[in-house]
Amino acid sequence: MIRINRETDYGIGILSMLARDDDARVTAATLADRRGLPQPMVSKILKHLARAGILVSYRGAKGGYGLARRPEEITVAEIIAALEGPISLTECVEEGVEACQYSNYCTVSGNWTRINRVVHEALSCITLAEMSAPEPDMPGTAGPGARDEFPIEFSGVRYVSDV
């Protein structure tokens, strides 16, 4: 199963809160309280995001964390990379085929590289601003504006629902 980790899920939720208020400067304790998460976990997530240049840390009595850039300039791919490391579905994609002991016999590594590129492109096309929207227009949503076609087209891949 391909799944983002819990910290990344929480991190995107925290960033979405900050994105809704561009001028927000919020403490780790406040964010933890608002999200119902343990403060040590929130602090760890915030430090990783600040180190990656997604957040800015402010010191002092009015300190806290705020977005380093506009939500439209921060992608889901960046957030995942900041909290989990490089996006790669297999080791040979991350380390390179030469690092794999089976590379001389492997017939699928090129396809894994292609699949990984498509996944990375999809995550790079979705911004924090879109993730922060209250009702996203995505396939399968029952809300107003729901549509059957995925809005992103890249590398010849297009989502069309079965509905």
Q: What range defines the domain where residue 124 resides? A: 6-130
In contact, 39 and 32? CB cutoff 8 Å: yes
User: What is the CATH number for 36?
Assistant: 1.10.10.10
Summarised one tens digit per residue, pLDDT across range 53-83 is: 999 999 988 889 999 999 999 999 999 999 9
Burial 21-58 (b: 16+ CB within 10 A, else e): eeeebbbbebbbeeeebeeebbbbbbebbbeeebbebe
Q: At what angle do helices 6-19 and 76-84 cross, to 10 degrees?
A: 130
Q: Is residue 163 part of a domain?
A: no
Min mean pLDDT across 103-117, 120-134, 148-162 is at 148-162
What global pTM score does this model have?
0.77
Whether residue 144 is predicted with pLDDT greater than 50 in this model: the reply is no
Which of the residue ranges 39-53, 103-117, 138-152 would you say has the lowest mean pLDDT? 138-152
Q: Say if 154 falls within a structural domain.
A: no
Cα 62 from chain centre: 28
Are 60 and 21 in contact by the 8 Å Cβ rule? The answer is no
pLDDT reported for residue 108: 78
CA atoms of 44 and 7, how far apart (whole Å): 9
Q: 53: alpha, beta or left, given left = phi > 0 and alpha = psi -120 to 50?
A: left
In a domain, 50, yes or no: yes
| Residue at 156 is within a domain | no
Number of domains in the chain: 1
Give the list of residues 6+ apart from residue 52 with CB closer than 8 angstroms, or none.
78, 81, 82
Quick check: is 159 in a domain?
A: no
Residue 24 resides in a domain: yes
